[in-house]
Chains A and B, each alone.
Chain A
Amino acid sequence: MGGLARRATFIKAARAENANLLLLDGGNTFWSRVSVTVQSQGKVIVEAMNLMGYDAVALGETDLQLGEDILRQRIADAQFAVLSANVIVQSTGELFADPYVLLEVGGRTVGIIGVTGSESLLPASLGPEPPLDRLVSLQGDKPQPAPAPSPLSGPSSPTPVQVADQPRPAAGHIVGSLAIIDPAVALAAYVKELQAQTNVIIVLSNLGWESNVRLTEMVPGVDLIISAGAGKVVTDPWQAPQTGTLVCQAGVYPQANPGQLVANIKMHIDSAGLVTEYTGGLVVLGPQFADDAGVRRLLLSYLPQ
């Protein structure tokens, strides 16, 4: 045992040091090929995240493979918000999950929006070119620079894009009875809605690093995007020069367990909701982190006796 139990230990320590802490997940969390997770249909993960005190999680595209009915059960089990602004039930056209949640932290209201999808939902021809120098691959435990950037076809200079002007499919992906609709259009609508209620907005998006960087200029008004989806490890947060939106991603090292990394970002947010300072980084959950007893007990309860 270790991944989830070590993570719980790290989170407890982080909470002890920081009064104003949000615990979030970018998505692709519940569906799995790990036997204990498969057998419990993701319930073991939800219960462990309840114990750790997660605040909000985005639905990922892989999570939709659990199917509508099981996902509804997992959402009911969760003591945290499970969010998606762009997954709809095909038969009704209604949103499958809550698009956003408002949380109070340190006297400030923080709006958190979930976005579901993959790189293919946001054409590479839109938005600015992603910064590739922050991507790393694993050679040992320490993050190292990527040997070569992946090919991109995006424009070389950032160009603001009017989301509404772009032709968009009504539904990008269909997974069972659910469909993923245009992420940028949905996000723009909910950012506008949230701006009437708060000036601190965080997006949990599993569109992948490149697409999430493009989102920073397609949909301004966001303080932070927690990026997920492509699995690439990103060492430091990146800030969009034109909008100031920060993008960070924990990712997964190749040939490593997906639960190996946890990341954090500390932001100073002024009265107007602008991030004026930030620091961030990744933590490898190695053996220096002891198992949390409560999460370990939970995991053991799911193992065959």
Chain B
Amino acid sequence: MRGTRLRAAWLILMGIGALMLAVAGCAVAPQPAPTATPAPTSTPTPLPQPIDLVVVYTSDTVGETEPCG
């Protein structure tokens, strides 16, 4: 009788141990290596090109259409 109890306790202990090992095993199971994601490359905004700009302008012509000077 005593031996039976001892065996049952032993079996329970072994079961708990196996369960703990399984859990621990899961925790340390090898994970797939992370895919190497290239770091985002910062593409600098290209500077605008210098420009030779010509502005032709008039003003204050108040609706004049006629010849001048």
> Is B one of A's binding partners?
yes
Chain B contact surface mostly: loop
Q: Does A248 contact B (CB under 8 A)?
A: yes
Q: Does A157 contact B (CB under 8 A)?
A: no
> If the complex has contacts A250-B58, A285-B69, A286-B68, are A29 and B63 also in contact, measured as CB distance less than 8 A?
yes
Which partner residue on chain B sits nearest A259 by CB separation? Answer: B64
Cα–Cα distance between A299 and B63 once the two chains are bound (Å) = 12
Cα–Cα distance between A42 and B63 once the two chains are bound (Å) = 7
Q: Is the CB of A271 within 8 A of B61?
A: no
B18 to chain A, nearest CB (A): 66
Q: Is the CB of B59 within 8 A of A226?
A: yes
Stretch in contact with the other chain, from A3-11, A86-94, A145-153:
A3-11
> If the complex has contacts A2-B67, A141-B69, A286-B69, are A110 and B53 also in contact, measured as CB distance less than 8 A?
yes
Which partner residue on chain A sits nearest B66 by CB separation? Answer: A3
Interface string of B29-69 (1 = CB under 8 A from A): 00000000000000000011111111111111111111111
Interface residue tally of chain B, by bracket?
20 to 34
Q: Does A44 contact B (CB under 8 A)?
A: yes
Q: Of A42, A228, A267, which one neighbours B55 at CB under 8 angstroms?
A: A267
Q: Of B55, B57, B65, which one neighbours A4 at CB under 8 angstroms?
A: B65
B52 to chain A, nearest CB (A): 5
Q: Is the CB of B55 within 8 A of A107?
A: no
Q: Is the CB of A108 within 8 A of B49?
A: yes
Chain A contact surface mostly: mixed
Q: Is the CB of B65 within 8 A of A48?
A: yes
- Give chain A residues whose Cβ lies under 8 Å from the Cβ of B57: 23-26, 226, 248, 250, 262-265
- Give chain A residues whose Cβ lies under 8 Å from the Cβ of B64: 3-4, 32, 34, 37, 257-259
B33 to chain A, nearest CB (A): 44
- Give chain B residues whose Cβ lies under 8 Å from the Cβ of A284: 68-69
- Give chain A residues whose Cβ lies under 8 Å from the Cβ of B63: 29-34, 37-38, 42, 44-45
> If the complex has contacts A28-B59, A231-B60, are A18 and B65 also in contact, measured as CB distance less than 8 A?
no
- Give chain B residues whose Cβ lies under 8 Å from the Cβ of A37: 63-65
B22 to chain A, nearest CB (A): 60
Interface residue tally of chain A, by bracket?
35 or more
Q: Of B52, B53, B55, B67, which one neighbours A3 at CB under 8 angstroms?
A: B67
A156 to chain B, nearest CB (A): 28
Q: In chain A between 14 and 54, which residues have their CB closer than 8 angstroms to a CB of chain B?
A: 14, 18, 20-34, 36-38, 42, 44-45, 48
Q: Of B49, B61, B66, which one neighbours A107 at CB under 8 angstroms?
A: B49
- Give chain B residues whose Cβ lies under 8 Å from the Cβ of A260: 68-69
B63 to chain A, nearest CB (A): 2
A265 to chain B, nearest CB (A): 5
Q: Is the CB of A34 within 8 A of B48?
A: no
Q: Is the CB of A23 within 8 A of B53?
A: no
Interface string of A187-221 (1 = CB under 8 A from B): 00000000000011010001000000000000000
Q: Does A99 contact B (CB under 8 A)?
A: no
Q: Is the CB of A34 within 8 A of B66?
A: yes
Q: Is the CB of B54 within 8 A of A257?
A: no
Return 8 A-B CB contacts under 8 Å, by A number.
Answer: A23-B57, A25-B57, A33-B63, A34-B65, A226-B59, A229-B59, A268-B52, A271-B48
Q: Which 10 A-B pairs give the minimum distances between C-beta atoms?
A: A32-B63, A2-B67, A228-B59, A26-B59, A37-B63, A260-B68, A259-B64, A18-B54, A257-B68, A271-B47
